[in-house]
A = this chain, B = another copy of it.
Amino acid sequence: MTNEELKIKGELARKASYLLASLPSTLKNEALLAMAGALEERQEEILRANAQDMNSAKERGMGKAMLDRLLLTPARIKDMAEGLRALVSLPDPVGEVEAMWKGAQEIEIGRMRVPLGVIGIIYEARPNVTVDAAGLCLKTGNAVILRGSSDALQSNKIITAVLADAAESSGMPRGSIQLIEDPRRETAVQLMKLNQYLDVLIPRGGAGLIQSVIENATIPVIETGIGNCHIYVDSWADLQMAEEIIVNAKTQRPAVCNAAESLLVHEKVAREFLPKAGKRLMEMGVEIRGCPRTRELLPGTGPATEEDYAAEFLELILSVKVVDSLDEAMEHIRKYGTKHSEAIVTEHYGSARAFLQGVDAAAVYVNASTRFTDGFQFGFGAEIGISTQKLHARGPMGLKELTTVKYIIYGNGQTRK
C-alpha cells in the first residue's frame, strides 16, 4: 500500500467524520443494530476467514494461548454482536452542552461535546477488538481507521466488510469504518504520521506495540493498558482481607492489565502474612519470586531481579518484596509501577490517605482488588481501553473519552474592547 492510498483512506475518513458528527443518535443506534445483525447473518463467512487465519497461525507455530485469542466461534460472534447491541442503550455524549455561562460583555459560552473526528486504532491479535472499536467509534460519531495484526488479517477483513456494509446500508457515510489491510510495518508507521487526516491514535496491545506508537507517532496518542500493578499489605492490614485481595488480583484472570504483578508486605506483618498467603498462592500455581526476606519466610521460592520487579508478567508469576515502611512501598511503586492500578490493604486512616494521595496512578485502591479497573465495573459501560497516561483520559475510557469539546458562543454583535 502506497502512502497515496493511505491518504485516500484518510481523506475518505475525514469526510465521513464531518457527516457523522451531526447524525442523530437514533440513526447511529439503528446502524449498530444492523451491524450486530449482519455479524450473525454472515457468521459462516467470518468463521471461514478465521479458519484461514488459524491455519496459518498454527503453521507458523503460534502458542496455544495466542491461538485461543485468535479463534472465533459462533458463541464468540454472538458475544461480539451483543456487545454492539449493548451500546445502543448507552447515552450518546455527542451534542450534550455540559455547561453554559456568560463571559465578557455577556457573550453566552457553552461547552459542547463533539466527536474527536477520525480515530486510528492499532491493535494486536484478537479480532473482537475490530468490532468493539468500530462500535464505540460509530456510537460517538467518529470515523475509525483500524489496523489489526497480520495474524488476524482474514478475520479482520471480513468483519470490517460486514460492519462497513451494514453501516452504509443504514445511512452511515462511506468511509466511517475502514481497515488498513497492508501488514507491513512501514505502512503502520506512515499511518502514525497522517496528522492531516487523523485526530488521535489509540494503540491496544503489548508493551512493544505501545512503545513503537509512542516513538513513531506525530498524531496525538492515548497510551493504554500496560499494568504492573501492586498490592501493598500495610502493617495495619486485615491480613485475611489482604490474602483474599492478593489471591483475587493475581489469579482471577492473570492475563489482563489490571491483574496484580507484585506484592509488597510491611515487615511487621510479613512473618504472619507471607507463609500463609504464599502457600495458598503457590497451591494455586503461582510462582513467587521474592526478595531475600521473602525467601526466608517462603522456602523454595526463587529470587526476584530488577527485571522481575519491572515486569508485567500477565501469567501466574508474582514478585514479592518485604518493605520497612509505607514510604518504601510508595517509592517502589514509583520506581517500577506503570501508573495503572495500585492498592493498599490497611485499617489505618492515615496510611490509606497517604497512599491515595501519594501514589500516582490511574486508579488507587484502599481495601479492594485492582481487578475492578474496568469500564463495566466502574459503571461506564463498554470501554476502548485503559489509559495509563495523563492527558485527556485516565483509566477506563468509555464513550465520553472518545469525544472532545468545542466552545459555542452566542453574541449579538460584541466586539473586544
In chain B, what residue has the closest Cβ to A242?
A: B413
| Interchain CB contact under 8 A, B214 and A218 | yes
In chain B, what residue has the closest Cβ to A215?
A: B218
Q: Which residues does chain B contribute within 8 Å of A394, judged by CB atoms?
A: 404-407
> CB-CB contacts of A101-123 with B at 8 A, as 1s and 0s?
11110010100001011000000
| Interchain CB contact under 8 A, A22 and B357 | yes
| Interchain CB contact under 8 A, A103 and B391 | no
State the CA gap A118–B248 with chains docked (Å): 34
Closest chain-B Cβ to A140's Cβ sits at a distance in Å of 13
Q: Which residues does chain B contribute within 8 Å of A406, judged by CB atoms?
A: 360-364, 394-395
Answer whether A366 and B200 are a contact pair too, CB < 8 Å, given A18-B358, A101-B379, A372-B104.
no
Within 8 A of B (CB), among A302-360: 334, 356-358, 360
State the CA gap A12–B342 with chains docked (Å): 24
Q: Which residues does chain B contribute within 8 Å of A358, judged by CB atoms?
A: 18, 21-22
Interface residues on A, range: 35 or more
| Interchain CB contact under 8 A, A334 and B18 | yes
| Interchain CB contact under 8 A, A414 and B368 | yes
Within 8 A of B (CB), among A363-417: 363-369, 371-373, 376-379, 389-392, 394-395, 404-416
Task: List 11 A-B residue pairs with CB atoms under 8 Å apart, sorted by A's residue number.
Answer: A21-B358, A103-B379, A107-B377, A220-B390, A363-B406, A363-B408, A367-B412, A368-B413, A368-B415, A369-B411, A372-B409
A238 at the interface (CB under 8 A from B): yes
| Interchain CB contact under 8 A, A407 and B395 | yes
With contacts A103-B379, A366-B409 known, what are 16 further pairs, Cβ within 8 A?
A21-B360, A104-B372, A109-B379, A117-B390, A220-B220, A361-B406, A362-B406, A363-B408, A364-B408, A367-B413, A368-B410, A369-B414, A371-B415, A371-B416, A391-B404, A395-B405
Could you say which of A372, A377, A378 has the most chain B C-beta atoms within 10 Å of its C-beta? A372
A77 at the interface (CB under 8 A from B): no
State the CA gap A338–B372 with chains docked (Å): 40
State the CA gap A21–B284 with chains docked (Å): 40
| Interchain CB contact under 8 A, B334 and A378 | no
State the CA gap A151–B180 with chains docked (Å): 46
Copies in the assembly, this chain: 2
| Interchain CB contact under 8 A, B404 and A390 | yes
In chain B, what residue has the closest Cβ to A405?
A: B394
Q: Which residues does chain B contribute within 8 Å of A362, judged by CB atoms?
A: 406-407
| Interchain CB contact under 8 A, B103 and A372 | yes
| Interchain CB contact under 8 A, A245 and B415 | yes
A86 at the interface (CB under 8 A from B): no
| Interchain CB contact under 8 A, A363 and B407 | yes
| Interchain CB contact under 8 A, A413 and B238 | yes
Q: Which residues does chain B contribute within 8 Å of A366, judged by CB atoms?
A: 408-411
State the CA gap A410–B371 with chains docked (Å): 14
State the CA gap A408–B395 with chains docked (Å): 11
Closest chain-B Cβ to A289's Cβ sits at a distance in Å of 23
A244 at the interface (CB under 8 A from B): yes
State the CA gap A412–B347 with chains docked (Å): 9
A221 at the interface (CB under 8 A from B): yes
State the CA gap A366–B112 with chains docked (Å): 15
State the CA gap A370–B392 with chains docked (Å): 25
Closest chain-B Cβ to A163's Cβ sits at a distance in Å of 24
Within 8 A of B (CB), among A252-278: 252-253
State the CA gap A104–B404 with chains docked (Å): 27
Answer whether A244 and B377 are a contact pair too, CB < 8 Å, given A21-B357, A368-B409, A408-B364.
no
Closest chain-B Cβ to A105's Cβ sits at a distance in Å of 8
A136 at the interface (CB under 8 A from B): no
| Interchain CB contact under 8 A, A411 and B365 | yes
Answer whether A392 and B395 are a contact pair too, CB < 8 Å, given A407-B362, A411-B367.
no
State the CA gap A109–B362 with chains docked (Å): 12
